[in-house]
Amino acid sequence: MQLTVKEIKKIIPHRFPFLLIDRVTELIPGEKLVAIKNVSANEHFFEGHFPSQKIMPGVLILEAMAQAGCVYFYYSQNLQGTYHYYLGKTTVKFSAPVVPGDQLQIEVETVKFVGKTGFLKAKATVDQKVVAEAEIALSAKEV
């Protein structure tokens, strides 16, 4: 299954400038999700991080992984009619910078589901080189 940005917006509440995934290229509920973020030189955060050497902030890479995780969690747990909340990270590791022109590919897999809480493993790559890895926790609340 693939999702456009329009379909992603139906699942998570984020909007410009904070929607950090552009497309889901692969989704197998309960197995994995692959999403992409095209990193443009026009991103608002590059104005201050850093004007002379633009680098995507690590916290925003983590946020992109969490947003991809929310979409994955939504489909894997059949959570129509709920809000999804990012609870936190259990581990995170950054290993390379992300710069304008990069295409960030995010892969999300299940660690475990406990009721309406999910523990997920996320990996972000650029040109097949790992730039960040994290384990994140998500929870869903009834609307």
Q: Which of 14, 44, 49, 84 is catalytic?
A: 49
Would you list the DSSP string of 58-80?
A: HHHHHHHHHHHHHHHHHHHTT-T
First to last CA, the chain: 26
Taking alpha carbons only, the member of 65, 107, 58, 108 closest to residue 88 is 65
49 an active-site residue?
A: yes
Sign of CA dihedral 58, 64, 32, 22: negative
Closest CA to 68 of 130, 129, 14, 127: 14
Catalytic residue annotation: 49
